Structures are given as structure tokens and as C-alpha cells.
Amino acid sequence: MASSSSSSSSSSSTLYATIDMGTNSFKMIIIRAYPDGKFLTIDHLRQPVVLGRDTTAATLSSTPFTLSAQSQLIAVEALKKFQNTLRSYKICKAQIRCVATAAVREAVNKGEFLKCVSDMIGLEVDVLPGEEEARLVYLGMLQFWPMYDKLVLGVDIGGGSTEFVIGKQGKVVLGASLKLGHVNLTQKFGNNKENVDQIRDHVRLVIKESGLIRKIKDCGFEVVVGSSGTIKAVEKAVFNGYVNKSNVASFGDGRKDWRLSRGEVKGVVESLCCGGEGEKNMREKFFERRSEFIVAGAVLLEEIFEVLGIEEMEVSGYALAEGVIAESLAKVYGCYGLKANARWSSIVQLAMRYNGKKRMKAAAQCAIIAKDIFEGLIKCDDLADNQLAAYLDDKDLEYLEAASLLHNVGVFLGKKGYHKHSYCIIMNGEHLHGYSSEEVKLIALLARHHRKKLPSFDHPTFNQFPGEITKKFRFLCAIIRVSAVLQQMEFSNSYEGFELVKCGVENQASLHVFNPLAEDIEAELRQELEYFKLVVCKELLIMAPSTVPVPRDTDIYT
């Protein structure tokens, strides 16, 4: 074996985790970061907590209130589950940041609770002031939307508070936090349509007394961005036809993704409040865990549109947790910027539009594996015979990562032939910004040919590409096909990666796999490795990461 490349020792990527201890739920994201400013969310966990559920509405709406022993127990159990996941990824504690928001911030016994978390879990929690929470939400929005140079009004609806922030070029002009959240509004007024007018009056009163309207008017803004689970749920309801009671919106229907108009928000509120038991059942099915609080959350959002004179809102898939990640990476990587890459942002937006958390995790893993294989091949000296390094460059890696992240979006329209659906979604929606038509087609074709039949380069589809691009496509296609199969294998959650071994001996074994999910997957992998060998003229060995357990210590979750 002449050389090898291991993703576990690569300096181009690192794992980071953020835990967001919200009022309604605790969330944790684990990302793999790259110094060029991109990061991929490789895991996203959520634990319903609802701090203060066993507290009376009057007590919860007042300041201060007490976190009950039951709430603390539920919170600690949720954090223990996160802890187990962190151990499986072997993430250093220095690369984990845990933040808490409204409920913990307002609790009189937060010191006791934080000590309990430190003693039992080993996590130090940053309790964010409202203005700091707003700032970090803004940084998260900038990772999803390329709005760095615009004056942005950000709105983030949480369980215990709503944050408002105005910022430009990464700097906050105005930050404010109001005690208006979908949890405390629900506990105070209930979630029935009879209580909607009371919720409206209360929201208007709190916003008016805060002086927020005048402050925002004085600062001004060019664009409005909303984040948080509530706003995303309302936008998803519009996109998926909840208002019209249809099944799902067509990917080719021309509606704008990740946006909400005032009329659309009003339509969601009316749908939530117009029916009886049938509407309630549909609400629970559609909004699932969020159904208990969605009426209060949607009414709150509608009132924010009304009192601030908002006509349209961009919706961010990223919020507080991603803002914490962005700030952490800016401290680690001197060249890391908070300004989002418009091209990459549009890839992430499209992937998140059609993929749930499970498929996003699979897509991210596919992209990570593909990147490791690509970089491993470039470093193999004796592949110079194929002039591989001369043919492939950073843009080709970008196309490969984009196709990997989008390869399974077609499942949204059905599992059968989903690779063909993925091609259609990428090609027909004008989703990808900053890419030429040739680049979009190249990404779409890579997604189309990540499985099933091998591409036929005599097909008219490839006629528009120059011969050099077609040759590049062969290499990229071989990589994504192997990567797509590998992401189905039960590799360790540690993301230490696998070892790419370039083999110089013709008859050496070509495959070592670890815990295949099924024999047919192993057979599929063997088939793709044969195609890889045909294209690259070298064998690829897949080595399982070490599974030897490492003792726990105070610095690493192992």
C-alpha cells in the first residue's frame, strides 16, 4: 500500500456541537466544519422538555418563577441523551457549547439547576441575556441567507420569549427580547380558537409597552428574516398546502421557497381556528409535537407582521444554534467569515426544503464521504498517470458535495425512482443561485446517476458538455456512487471516518466492510467499487474505523 488518507486525521474538518436549552425543547446540532466557511450538520437531535409545564400559568408569566424538581429532572434526562451521542462522536468538551434561553434565564433557582447540570452531566451552561440571544440568532440567519450587506430585521419566536434584532455586516444595531413565547402564551390563554382575541390583545399590549415599534422604525430595515421552529412550521404549512387542505405543493408550482407573506400567515391562522374536532386532528397530524402550541405561535407571528408593517418575511432554516456555531468557528479559524456563500447557501436551502432530519443526516454523510474520497485521490501520487489532479479542482469538489447533499431530495416525491425525481427538482425549480445552467445540469446529473444504471456517455444528455467535462463527470460519478452506498453502512457515529487506501498490488483484496446493514448493500458496494476501479484504474479499500472503546475522561466524550 503506497499511501493512504484518513478523514480522522484531516486538518480540513472538525466536529463541533451546540446545545440550545430552550423553553419548549432542548436541541443539539453536531456539525463538521471546514476552514473555507462551510459546515455540514451531521446530526440534529431534539428532546421535548417544556420547562415550567407543571408551573401555573400565572406563575410562569410572572418574573421570577421557579423551575420545579420535575422540570429539572426532565431537563437532566434530556441532556444525558445528548451526552451519550456526544460520547459516540468523541467530541472534545472544548468544542461543545451549551446555551440556555428564556425559561432558565428567568428562573430564580437557575443557579441550583446549572450546578446540577455541571455535576451530573459535566456541561457548563451559558445563560444568554435576551439581547445576546438575539445577536446569535442574527449570526445564524447569516449562515442561511446571503444578506451580510443588508440591514436585516430578524424575528425569532421561542417558547418563552421572542427576540428581535436589526443587524448589518455581522454587527447588531438593535437587539430586544420580549416575554412573548408560544409556550407561555398557550399556558396563559390556552390553544382554542375562543382564546385567539385574548392572545392578540396581549401581544399588542406587550409590544406597544416595550417601545419596540418606534425603535425599529428609527433604525429601519431592508429585509425581514424569521427563524425558530414556530416560523418554520408556519412556512412549511403554507408550502405543503395546509391552508388549502391539499396534500403537498408541487416542486414545479413556482411558489417561493423559505418565504412567508402576511396573507399566507393569516391563512394559516384562519385554518387553525376554523374547524372543530376534525381540524384539531388534522393539526395534530400535521404539526405533530408542535400542535399543542401552534395556535399561539401562529397568532403571535401574525400580530408581529401586523404591528411592524411586515409584508413578506424570508424564513431561515438556521437560528440560535447555528449562530453559536458560526461564532465558535470565527474564533477558531482566522479566515472564517460570517458572510454566507450564496451558492452554497442555495444548495443547503434546497436540501433542507425537501429532506427531513433523517435524510439530511444521510445526505451530509454522503457529502463528507465523497469529499474524503476526492481529497484522498488527489493526494495519491501514482495516479499522475491519469492526470487526475490536473483534471479535478476545487469547483469539481463543490459540484460533488452539492450533488451528494441533494442526491436524495427526490424521496420527497416518492421512494421509487427517487434519483430521477432528484434530477427533476434540481433542474426545474431555479433553486440554485450563482450557478450557470451547465453547472446546475452537472450537479443534477450526478444526483441522477448516484445509483442504479451507469451513465451512458453516448446519450444526448451529455452532448452539451465538452469532452474534458465528461471525463471529469466519470470520476465524480464513480465517487458519489461509492459514497451513496457507504452512507447506508453502519459505520461508527464517531465520524472518525474510514481509511482510503490506494493499492498497488493488482490482486489484493478490494473490500473490508464493517457491519453492513444487509447483504444486498454489501453486494451493491462491491459493484460500485468495481466501477470505481474501472474509472480510476486503481482499487479502493474501505477500512472500518477502530471500534476499540476508550475510557471516559473529563475532556472528551468517548
Q: Which CATH number is 65's domain given?
A: 3.30.420.40
Same domain, yes or no: 214 and 280: yes
Signed CA dihedral, 487, 493, 497, 503: sign only: negative
Signed CA dihedral, 375, 379, 385, 391: sign only: positive
Query: Who wins on pLDDT, 121 or 557?
Result: 121
Count of domains observed in the chain: 3
Query: Is 337 inside any structural domain?
Result: no
Going across the sheet that includes 14-21, the strands are 39-48, 25-33, 14-21, 96-100, 125-127
Q: Residue 314: which of 249, 221, 252 has the closest Cα?
A: 221
Cα–Cα distances in angstroms (integers) from residue 25 to residues 50, 228, 290, 315, in the given order: 6, 12, 10, 20
Q: Would you say 378 and 8 are in contact if contact means Cβ atoms under 8 Å apart?
A: no
The pair phi, psi for residue 281, each rounded to 5°, is -65, -40
Q: Would you say 286 and 238 are in contact if contact means Cβ atoms under 8 Å apart?
A: no
The pLDDT confidence band at residue 100, using thresholds 50, 70 and 90, is very high
380: number of Cβ within 10 Å: 20
Q: Would you say 323 and 140 are in contact if contact means Cβ atoms under 8 Å apart?
A: yes
Q: Would you say 81 and 66 are in contact if contact means Cβ atoms under 8 Å apart?
A: no
Reported as a single tens digit per residue, the pLDDT across 133-187 is 999 999 999 999 999 999 999 999 999 899 999 999 999 999 999 999 999 999 8
Query: Is 269 inside any structural domain?
Result: yes
Query: Is 264 inside any structural domain?
Result: yes
**Rounded mean pLDDT, 207-234:** 95
Same domain, yes or no: 120 and 167: no
Same domain, yes or no: 205 and 57: no
Same domain, yes or no: 78 and 63: yes
Reported as a single tens digit per residue, the pLDDT across 525-543 is 888 888 888 887 777 776 5
Torsion of CA 234, 239, 241, 242, to 10 degrees: -10
Q: Residue 156: which of 183, 174, 173, 181 has the closest Cα?
A: 181
* pLDDT for 440: 95
The pLDDT confidence band at residue 52, using thresholds 50, 70 and 90, is low
Residues in CB range of 439: below 8 A, 6 or more apart: 399, 432
Q: Would you say 235 and 260 are in contact if contact means Cβ atoms under 8 Å apart?
A: yes
Query: Is 259 inside any structural domain?
Result: yes
Residue 300 sits in which domain range?
131-318
Q: Would you say 17 and 29 are in contact if contact means Cβ atoms under 8 Å apart?
A: yes
> Does residue 18 have a pLDDT over 50?
yes
Same domain, yes or no: 86 and 201: no
Least confident of 53-62, 236-245, 373-382: 53-62
Give CA–CA dist 323/340, Å, rounded: 12
Give CA–CA dist 465/474, Å, rounded: 12
Q: At which of 332, 365, 394 does a domain end?
A: 332
7: number of Cβ within 10 Å: 22
Q: Would you say 345 and 174 are in contact if contact means Cβ atoms under 8 Å apart?
A: no
Cα–Cα distances in angstroms (integers) from residue 369 to residues 2, 221, 524, 526, in the given order: 21, 41, 17, 16
Q: Residue 106: which of 129, 125, 124 has the closest Cα?
A: 129
Same domain, yes or no: 168 and 269: yes
Query: Is 531 inside any structural domain?
Result: yes
Q: Which CATH number is 148's domain given?
A: 3.30.420.150
Q: Would you say 95 and 16 are in contact if contact means Cβ atoms under 8 Å apart?
A: yes
> Does residue 401 have a pLDDT over 60?
yes
Query: Is 266 inside any structural domain?
Result: yes
Give CA–CA dist 297/234, Å, rounded: 9
Same domain, yes or no: 181 and 310: yes
Give CA–CA dist 499/375, Å, rounded: 12
Residues in CB range of 75: below 8 A, 6 or more apart: 21, 26, 49, 51, 67, 113, 117
The pLDDT confidence band at residue 246, using thresholds 50, 70 and 90, is very low
Query: Is 3 inside any structural domain?
Result: no
Reported as a single tens digit per residue, the pLDDT across 466-504 is 777 888 898 999 999 999 998 887 544 444 444 444 443
With H, G, I as helix, E, B as strand and everything else as coil, classify residue 338: coil
Least confident of 109-123, 147-161, 348-362, 370-384: 370-384
Cα–Cα distances in angstroms (integers) from residue 322 to residues 19, 41, 127, 157, in the given order: 10, 9, 17, 16
The pLDDT confidence band at residue 422, using thresholds 50, 70 and 90, is very high
Same domain, yes or no: 418 and 499: yes
* pLDDT for 514: 44
Same domain, yes or no: 271 and 295: yes
Query: Is 349 inside any structural domain?
Result: no
Query: Who wins on pLDDT, 392 or 323?
Result: 323
Reported as a single tens digit per residue, the pLDDT across 118-140 is 999 999 999 999 999 999 999 99
Q: What residues pair up with 313 in beta bridges, in sequence order?
A: 260
Q: At which of 276, 300, 332 does a domain end?
A: 332
Distance of CA 492 to the CA centre of its chain: 21
Q: Which CATH number is 415's domain given?
A: 1.10.3210.10
The pLDDT confidence band at residue 23, using thresholds 50, 70 and 90, is confident
Same domain, yes or no: 515 and 486: yes
* pLDDT for 57: 47
Written as nine digits, the cell of 276 is 372543530
Reported as a single tens digit per residue, the pLDDT across 301-329 is 999 999 999 999 999 999 999 999 999 98
Same domain, yes or no: 194 and 224: yes
Give CA–CA dist 121/101, Å, rounded: 18
**Rounded mean pLDDT, 447-468:** 83
Query: Who wins on pLDDT, 239 or 19?
Result: 19
Cα–Cα distances in angstroms (integers) from residue 191 to residues 45, 139, 415, in the given order: 26, 32, 36
> Does residue 223 have a pLDDT over 90?
yes
User: Helix crossing, 467-486 with 437-448: angle to 10°?
Assistant: 40
Give CA–CA dist 37/53, Å, rounded: 39
HSE of 393, CA atoms in CB hemisphere, 13 A: 5
Least confident of 9-18, 23-32, 81-90: 9-18
Total residue length of the chain:
558
Judging by DSSP bridges, how do beta strands 171-178 and 96-100 pair with one another?
Answer: unpaired
Q: Would you say 180 and 161 are in contact if contact means Cβ atoms under 8 Å apart?
A: yes
Give CA–CA dist 488/362, Å, rounded: 8
* pLDDT for 6: 38
292: number of Cβ within 10 Å: 18
* pLDDT for 375: 84
Q: What percent of the chain has pLDDT above 90?
A: 54
Q: At which of 295, 318, 341 does a domain end?
A: 318
Same domain, yes or no: 406 and 265: no
